[in-house]
Amino acid sequence: MGLTDVSERSGPDACPGAFQTHSAADGAVARIRVPGGLLIPRQLRELGHTAASLGSGVIELTSRANVQIRGLRGDAEREFATRMTAAGLLPSATYERVRNILASPMAGLDGHGLIEVAPLVRELDLAICSRPALADLPGRFLFAVDDGRGDVAALGADIALLPPAFVLIAGQDSGLRVSPAEAVPVMVAAAEAFLAERGSDDSKAWRISELPDGPARIAARLGGHATAPPPRPRGGGVAAVAGKQMGALAQPGGWAALSVMPPLGRLSAAQAHAVATAADTGDGEIRLTPWRGVIVPGLTWADAELWLPRLADVGLITDAASPWTGVTACTGRPGCAKSLADVQADAVRALSAAGARGAAGAPVHSALPVHWAGCERRCGRPSGPAVLVVATGHGYRVDAGGRSVSCAGIEETASAISGTRTTADGPPGTTET
């Protein structure tokens, strides 16, 4: 892939935050970074309450395991930031947009990883927010802390830890080897090296991959030597099923974790409340995933069996065989003025059409993710293999595996998606929203 031409950029990236919101057709959009996707029940309840009372009523889960609320108008923006600060979700106004940290959502829960990631996520978050220079990182810059299974290391982060010892820079092996205890200082140093290299070029790059020879230059500053391809993960090799494990999942010690997903990644206040209440009966922890799912760990099996149908009753997907699994959509009409279609409504219609033809139940473990987009920007598209369904103004174009099919109606679009979705597995990825 060629280098992105960044010379025409006029300034910093426009990724929204809680203070620097994005103006959309349906009001302001505010995004809250959730390092590692880690929330506690009280925070999810507050997000749901805030979405319902100040915004559109929905918490949007992003492909970086962050959350955003749209439809904020007038004084609601300021009130939003006040509430998020009180909830502990905005520890720093200066660094709020740069705390982009992915983490393996199932770390420590299923025996597939090599390390526990939550302590490293917290250490990395604190380290980022304590370095004055890193306040200048672009909002698109991304860290990943993988537990060794290779799920989030595969998502195109600028700097990723892949245990047992690898540091990846823009997906390439940096040649650096670190223990988990040594990882955070090296990751922070790599981010500072990016800013230094960017400065030396007077570049407008937002990502390491946008700098000429970026991985090699940054690795060299740290005493490494970047090479491709990246190492194969050793921690279970389960990246390919990331985001496709749903329902009640067995944890070591006889415990259970619930893995659920809101349709199209849009969590209502009632659903948020139900998830938070379920989490109260477990470890008191909620993990958002880069696949727009939610994991509630540490329940007894009795509580898991009690809560799974309750979560299904409020409209959450609890079964991996659901046709909704792996289906995402950008905002589309009416929220985005650029959109050529109401992609979320059309995605629902296409799923209904596929279900009517008996095609909706294709085994999701062998299905590519599907992403609907209202225009060619394709916001929120997965970075790995995927079926992209792009509005054209006179229907949709279905892109997959280097082939494109133009479709005039929803039936035709649904049929084209079904025909392209079941190919070789690849981990869903992330370019946020």
Binding site for ligand SF4 (CB under 6 A): 330-332, 336, 338-339, 373-375, 377-379
Residue 26 CB, shortest distance to ligand SF4, in Å, is 11
Q: Are 386 and 368 in contact (CB under 8 A)?
A: yes
Question: Based on CB atoms, which residue is closest to ligand SF4, 162 or 370?
Answer: 370
- Could you give the CA distance from residue 389 to residue 408 in angstroms, rounded to a whole number? 12
- Residue 109 to residue 107: CA distance in whole angstroms: 5
CB of 328 to ligand SF4, least distance (A): 11
In the complex with ligand SF4, the residue whose CB is nearer, 180 or 332, is 332
Question: Closest approach of Cβ 60 to ligand SF4, in Å?
Answer: 11
Smallest gap, in angstroms, from Cβ of residue 63 to ligand SF4?
Answer: 12
Instruction: Write down the least CB distance from residue 344 to ligand SF4, Å.
Output: 10
Which residue's CB comes closest to ligand SF4?
Answer: 374
CB of 329 to ligand SF4, least distance (A): 8
**Alpha-carbon distances of 32 from 121, 284, 352, 356, 400, rounded to whole Å:** 16, 20, 33, 38, 31
Instruction: Please identify, using beta-carbon distances, which residue of 320 and 336 lies nearer to ligand SF4.
Output: 336
Nearer to ligand SF4, 4 or 300 (CB): 4
Min CB(340)–ligand SF4 separation in Å: 7
**Comparison of 23 and 366: residue with beta carbon closer to ligand SF4:** 23
CB 380 to ligand SF4: min, Å: 7
Q: Which is nearer to ligand SF4, 64 or 287 (CB)?
A: 64
Taking the least distance from each CB to ligand SF4, the nearer of 62 and 415 is 62
**Closer by beta carbon to ligand SF4, 45 or else 378:** 378
